[in-house]
Amino acid sequence: AHSRFDAIAREYEYRLYSAKNPFLQETSLFYPYTLDEAALAETAAYIKEQTNFWGFSKTNTQVKNFRCTIYKSEWRRKGEELIYNIEGNRFLRGMVRLLTATQLKVARGKLPMQTFHSFFADEQKCGLSIAATGLYLVRVKYPENYFPP
């Protein structure tokens, strides 16, 4: 049994807050920008429909397969925080941070939706990342009966 290779799904969340709060600064990223939450919902839904994440891989990667199946991709509010949840069968190194940063650029009006779509079409790498502060591995799923009683 191998904890990494036998997992069938992983779920991450990225936590942001926009109003200064000393209780959130260690667990979430301070992001004091106005965001179009409808654009965030649109980008998250688009991610769920995609399978080719070459544009969201590291530049000097030795990975040969960029296909990932995304089961969940959504933004939600929880108190003062804005949280991005994503679950998939696998993730490329840095992929969640790259996806989060790119969605936030779209929601700020700094990146056109068409450019966002082009990152999934092998046209270019997104090259946008965001700090690791706020990123959490929430859950790892294994096949039923993987762990003996």
* pLDDT of 110 higher than 90: yes
* pLDDT of 122 higher than 80: no
* pLDDT of 88 higher than 90: yes
The interaxial angle of helices 95-107 and 37-49, nearest 10 deg, is 140
- Which range has the worst mean pLDDT, 23-32, 68-77, 79-88, 117-126? 117-126
Amino acid at 102: T
* pLDDT of 31 higher than 90: yes
Residue 140 CA to residue 70 CA, distance in Å, equals 14
* pLDDT of 128 higher than 90: no
Exposure string over 83-122, b if 16+ CB within 10 A, otherwise e:
bbebbbebbbebbbbbbbbbbbbbbeeebeeeebeebbee
pLDDT tens digits, 54-71: 999 887 777 888 999 999
Residue with tokens 């790498």: 125
Distances (CA, A) of 21 to 18, 57, 67, 125: 9, 32, 38, 34
Domain ranges of the chain: 9-141
Residue 16 CA to residue 35 CA, distance in Å, equals 11
Report the 10 Å Cβ neighbour count for 42.
16
- Which range has the worst mean pLDDT, 90-94, 97-101, 124-128, 136-140? 124-128
* CATH number 3.30.70.660 is the correct assignment for the domain at 9-141: yes
* pLDDT of 148 higher than 90: no
